[in-house]
Amino acid sequence: MNKYLLRGIIGTISGLLLGTFGLYLMDGDSVGYKWLLLFGVVVFGLGFLTIIYSLIRKIERRSLLDERKRNPVDNND
């Protein structure tokens, strides 16, 4: 598990928890739940995008390694 995937999972889970807590506060007519919901959505979105970014990096790395296997470069000068 790379650092981007771990950060994405943590961000996604924390965004879900913030959103759930914001909904809980909304039922109790508390002040400030809107900011908590907004922050939860932003954190969830960033976490989800970080997970997507980690998957794209993984695919790109595999394609580079496959390309290097197919076309070895001889550096004997």
pLDDT digits (tens, 9 = 90+) for 5-61: 999 999 999 999 999 999 888 888 778 888 999 999 999 999 999 999 999 999 998
Question: How many domains in the chain?
Answer: 1
pTM for the structure as a whole = 0.78
Q: How much is the pLDDT for 32?
A: 83
- 77 pLDDT exceeds 90? no
Tell me whether residue 73 is in a domain: no
Burial of residue 43 (number of CB atoms within 10 Å: 0-12, 13-18, 19+): buried
The per-residue pLDDT for 76 is: 61
Length reported for the chain: 77
**Residue 16 sits in which domain range?**
3-68
Any domain includes 54: yes
Question: Would you say residue 75 lies in a domain?
Answer: no
Rounded mean pLDDT, 59-77: 81
Q: What is the pLDDT of residue 19?
A: 92
The reply to whether 74 falls in a domain is no
